[in-house]
A and B are shown apart, each in its own frame.
Chain A
Amino acid sequence: MSTDKSFESKSLDPAVQQMIAKAKEKGIATVWDRYEAMNPQCGYGDTGLCCRNCLQGPCRINPFGDEPKTGICGSTADVMVARWLDRAIAAGTAAHSGHAKHLAHTMMKMTKGQAPDYTIKDPVKLKSVAVRLGLPVEGRDNMEIARDVASAALADFAEKETPVLWAATVVTEGRVKALSAIGAVPKGIDHEVSEIMHRTLYGVDADAVNLLIAGIRCGVADLAGCYMGTDLADILFGTPTPVVSKANMGTLKADMVNIAAHGHNPVLSEMIVTVAESMKQEAVAAGAKGVNVVGICCTGNELLERHAIPSCTHSVSQEMALLTGALDAIVVDYQCIMPSLVTVAECMGSKIITTMDICKITGAEHIEFTEEAAAEKAKEAVRAAIAVFKKRKGQPVDIPDVESAVVAGFSTESIVAALAKVDAKDPLKPLVDNIKNGNIRGVCLFAGCNNVKVPQDRNFKIMAEKLLKENVLVVATGCGAGALMRHGFMDPANVGSLCGDGLKAVLTAIGEANGLGGPLPPVLHLGSCVDNSRAVAIVVALANYLGVDTDKLPVVASAPEAVSEKAVSIGVYAVAAGLPTHVGVMLPVLGSPAVTGILTDKVKGLTGGYFIVDLDPSSAADKLLAAIDERRKGLGL
């Protein structure tokens, strides 16, 4: 099947373009059709001037200055916009920390012998996390330590006398002081989410600045949830080390049972990978050559970074994997699962299997996953995929012949280990020296999703190309990492064509010191969206090494195609950490010039970080470069 260029307005990924053409041919509605049907989108919602928080509403404020100028209760545009933003931050925080809490419960069950399929895969990380939390480790059994870590994690959710450990112990001392000064230190992760629901209720907080401070505090709680998610997943499933794999739909195999793990938490997807190999005989008996597990979205990133499982596709193109006709089942847990998958699966003779009590989809098959019987439940899901394969065996499939080479698995630990091969005594020195001498101009983190409003991957591609040429070290997480890996940005062979000379020299030196016979990939894959914590860990390590706070570093972040409220809360903690943070789609805040001004400017005086909203990827990249240069100047570089 040839690539249809006319689909470039929808996606820059050639595999996705082929599947859009197929969907059109078959008359199957996809996310792009639904977006078209939704236009024009509501201008009040788009500007944040719609409020449904009470039953007197809905209220709308006229964005062009005439009546109505306030809501029925008297809420101004500033209050309406700030309340919405707070609720989005709370939702994002609830999701990341819900993921972390799930891992904490799994770990606790493991220590009690109730989850026999889980083990401690990385005792070194377990001990380092315990030490960081101030828990005793000397002479203690790993299971005892794990129980204490799980207890400490669960305790971080409720309001308590002591600070949220996963926030207080993961940032610089300077950050603790800066955040304390503005009252942005969270008292408990769940507490902050709950308090936002309270303060945004009818007739409570009606002061935009006060609302936004609470939003920042909740954003810091989100950092805690993300960091905890990464820590606990590393302990249970292993801290990533560099792996070689592939990305895109070409990783599906016509003659194998193809099963995609989609969603976020490795608690489920790890079990799918664990049992898949042992079920080869069942697959063979059904006429397949074996079981091929691929990933979609962040659970795909979790599997990629730990087991080199190929990433099939990401975010806005998730339906397209089904259009190949080769995907026998998608097993999902939660977050970013489009309900439309069920309809597309039905059209293509495939199956969606939900596994979590909080995420059922009408029309999907539900296999309730439990940690107590994890492997058994995972087998049940794989068996369902084998049954689908039996039916589709021999039928034609359209697997796009598109795949990219990927080197992933860059945890903080593996990056430090790679640097240690250059300077064993002082691993951060080579990195810092190269930042100082300008070989590395700065660092940019790409995160977030693919938004249907942007041609898929366009903003990531344009911005990363520009920044790499300007010698910015680029790291990526989540579906941002997915976008970049599908376009060859994680293939070391492309360093020569993508990177500026300074960056090229650094990536090559580190790669060669590690016996790779070539450079590291142009963009370093840090993992899933909770793994944005790894970016924070790296930034904090750099800041501590240099003896400055994180808001002084030439480090920036960007979510150029953001969708989820999780991207909003991540953006807020990036700003709380002091980073200039770009968003490439419009946040519904323009209805309040005051709130817009706080987010893009005034917050700088509080945390050092700020938002840059720019829908044009090229000028956004220029703004990030200018922010990097401003910081370099501040450091006297």
Chain B
Amino acid sequence: MHEPKEIFVNTSRCTACKTCEISCAVAHSRSGNLYGALQEKPTPKPRLYVEWVSPDVNVPILCRHCEDAPCVHACISGAISRNKESVVTTDSDKCIGCWTCVMVCPYGVIGRHLETHKSYRCDRCPDRETPACVSSCPTKALVYRTVKSFSKDVRKEAASKMIAGEGE
């Protein structure tokens, strides 16, 4: 079975430049460019958030598209579902703005759009091969990979550290 890719974060590489936030908003604008996006209504919104963990760690945080997503279960109007690419999506037409999804989301990454009165979240940029946040990240803190490939690298790094430790 085809394994979908996820957006992963190398927190040690994030400098909190917030380029991902800007490019996310631009990618979700009608004009598709920054200068145009600034003039648009409804205002395009970033769907990920760079959070600061004192004293010096920055974490870009966004919808994890959980396999067993609490928001899908909680949505009273049936607006939230999982599509065949395994992406959790919100159908704005069905969204009634009850904010139950916000209440149950463990990551706090569902936003409320004050102009449209709808919720919004990461949609994994369905029209792009790589999500805008990932392709714009100047330090490659954000990566778009399968669990298998990401974990492989984590294991390799852990293994090399382990061996280096043995050599001391």
CB pair B19–A42 under 8 Å, yes or no, is yes
Q: Does B34 contact A (CB under 8 A)?
A: yes
Does A25 belong to the interface (CB within 8 Å)? no
A591 lies within 8 A of B38 (CB): yes
Interface residues of B in 107-156 (CB under 8 A from A): 136, 138
B34, A60: Cβ atoms closer than 8 Å: no
Question: Which residue of chain B is the closest to A613 with respect to CB atoms?
Answer: B35
* Binding stretch for chain B, among A62-70, A91-99, A197-205, A245-253: A62-70
Report the bound CA distance from A575 to B136 in whole Å.
36
Inter-chain contacts of B17 with A (CB < 8 A): 42
The answer to whether B35 and A40 have CB atoms under 8 Å apart is no
Contacts of A42 in B (CB 8 A): 17, 19, 22
CB atoms of A66 and B45 under 8 A apart: yes
**Least Cβ–Cβ distance between A72 and chain B, in angstroms:** 14
Closest CB in chain B relative to A448 CB, distance in Å? 19
Residue pair B46, A43 in contact (C-beta under 8 Å): no
In the complex, the answer to whether A40 meets B45 with C-beta atoms within 8 Å is: no
Whether A142 is near chain B, meaning CB under 8 Å from some CB there, is: no
- On whether the beta carbons of A43 and B19 are closer than 8 Å, the reply is yes
- Beta-carbon contact of A44 and B38 below 8 Å: no
Residue-wise interface mask of B (21-44) relative to A, using a CB-CB cutoff of 8 A (1 in contact, 0 not): 011011000000011011000011
The residues of A that contact B22 with a CB separation of less than 8 Å are: 42-44, 63
Q: Which residues 46-90 of A sit at the B interface, judged by CB distance below 8 A?
A: 46-47, 60, 63-66
Nearest CB in chain B: distance from A502 CB, A: 36
A43 to B26, CA, bound (A): 10
Whether A40 pairs with B19 at a CB distance below 8 angstroms is yes
Bound-state CA distance A165–B136 (Å) is 51
Q: A40-B136, A43-B19, A43-B26 are in contact. Are A64 and B43 (CB under 8 A)?
A: yes
Is B18's CB within 8 Å of the partner chain A?
yes
How far apart are the CA atoms of A532 and B16 in the complex, in Å? 42
Residues of A within 8 A of B23 (CB): 40, 43
| Distance in Å: Cβ of B134 to nearest Cβ of chain A | 12
Give the total number of A-B pairs whose CB atoms are below 8 A apart: 36
Taking the closest CB of chain B, its distance from the CB of A432, in whole angstroms, is 40
> Are B35 and A60 in contact, CB atoms less than 8 angstroms apart?
no
Contact residue among A40, A64, A586, A590 (Cβ-Cβ distance under 8 Å from B44): A64
- The reply to whether B43 and A65 form a contact with Cβ atoms under 8 Å apart is yes
Bitwise interface map of A from 89 to 113 toward B, beta carbon under 8 Å scored 1, else 0? 0000000000000000000000000
Instruction: Categorize the interface residue count of chain B.
Output: 10 to 19
Docked Cα-Cα span, A586 to B33, in Å, equals 12
Q: Give CA–CA (A47, B34) in the complex, Å.
A: 9
Complex contact B38–A63 (CB within 8 A): yes
A591 CA / B138 CA spacing, docked (Å): 22
Asked if B18 contacts A64 (CB within 8 A), the reply is: no
Within 8 A of B (CB), among A1-54: 40, 42-44, 46-47
Given contacts A40-B19, A40-B138, A44-B18, contact A64 B34 (CB under 8 A): no
Q: Which residues of A contact B46 (CB under 8 A)?
A: 64
Please state if B34 and A46 are interface contacts (CB–CB under 8 Å): yes
Contacts of B37 in A (CB 8 A): 64
Within the complex, what minimum Cβ distance (angstroms) separates A154 from chain B?
Answer: 43
A43, A46, A60, A591 pick with most chain B CB within 10 angstroms: A43
- Evaluate contact between A590 and B138: CB separation under 8 angstroms: no
**From A46, A64, A586, A615, contact of B25 by CB (8 A):** A64
- A590 near B38 with CB under 8 A, answer yes
B19: A residues at CB distance < 8 A: 40, 42-43
> What is the chain B residue whose CB lies nearest that of A38?
B138
Would you give the shortest CB distance from B30 to chain A, in whole angstroms?
Answer: 14
> Are A590 and B35 touching (Cβ within 8 A)?
yes
Minimum CB–CB distance for A256 against chain B, Å? 45
Query: How near does chain B come to A34, taking the closest CB pair, in angstroms?
Result: 14
B65-93 interface (Cβ within 8 A of A) = none
Complex Cα–Cα for A590 and B35 (A): 7
Q: Bound complex: CA of A303 vs CA of B117, how far in Å? A: 64
- Could you tell me the distance in whole angstroms from the C-beta of A62 to the nearest C-beta in chain B? 8
Which A600-631 residues sit within 8 Å CB-CB of chain B?
Answer: 615
Least CB distance from A130 to B in Å reads 49
- B22 CB, nearest partner CB in chain A, Å: 3
Least CB separation from B23: chain A residue: A40
Q: Which residue of A lies closest to B36 (CB)?
A: A590
Please tell me if the beta carbons of B138 and A586 are within 8 angstroms of each other in the complex.
no
Nearest chain A CB to B82 CB, angstrom units: 28
Q: CA A591 – CA B34 in complex, angstroms?
A: 10
Nearest chain B CB to A420's CB is how many angstroms away? 47
CB-CB < 8 A to A43: which residues of B? 18-19, 22-23, 26, 34
- Specify the chain A residue showing the minimal Cβ separation from B26: A43
CB of B45 within 8 A of CB of A64, answer yes
**Chain A stretch 562-596: residues in CB contact (< 8 A) with chain B:** 586, 590-591
B23 vs chain A, min Cβ distance (A): 6
Q: Which residues of B contact A615 (CB under 8 A)?
A: 35
- Which residues of chain A come closer than 8 Å to B26, judged between CB atoms? 43
CB distance from A77 to the nearest CB of B (A): 11
Closest to A615 in B: B35
**Nearest chain A CB to B138 CB, angstrom units:** 7
Q: How far is the CB of B109 from chain A (nearest CB, A)?
A: 14
In chain A, what residue has the closest Cβ to B135?
A40
A245 to chain B, nearest CB (A): 40
A485→B139 CA distance, assembly (Å): 41
- Which of chain B's residues have a CB closer than 8 A to the CB of A60? 18
How far is A463 from B140 in the complex, measured between Cα atoms in Å? 40
With a cutoff of 8 Å between Cβ atoms, the chain B residues found around residue A590 in the complex are 34-35, 38
Give the distance in Å from the alpha carbon of A42 to the alpha carbon of B35 in the complex.
13
Least Cβ–Cβ distance between A504 and chain B, in angstroms: 38
Cα distance, A65 to B22, chains bound together (Å): 12
Complex A-B: 15 CB contacts under 8 Å: A42-B17, A42-B19, A43-B19, A43-B23, A43-B26, A43-B34, A44-B18, A60-B18, A63-B22, A64-B25, A64-B45, A64-B46, A65-B43, A586-B35, A590-B35
Q: Which 5 A-B pairs rank lowest in CB-CB distance, beginning with the nearest?
A: A43-B22, A40-B136, A64-B25, A65-B43, A590-B38
9 more CB-based (< 8 A) A-B contacts, given A44-B18, A64-B38: A40-B136, A42-B19, A43-B26, A47-B34, A60-B18, A64-B37, A65-B43, A590-B34, A590-B38
Binding site for A on B (CB under 8 A): 17-19, 22-23, 25-26, 34-35, 37-38, 43-46, 136, 138
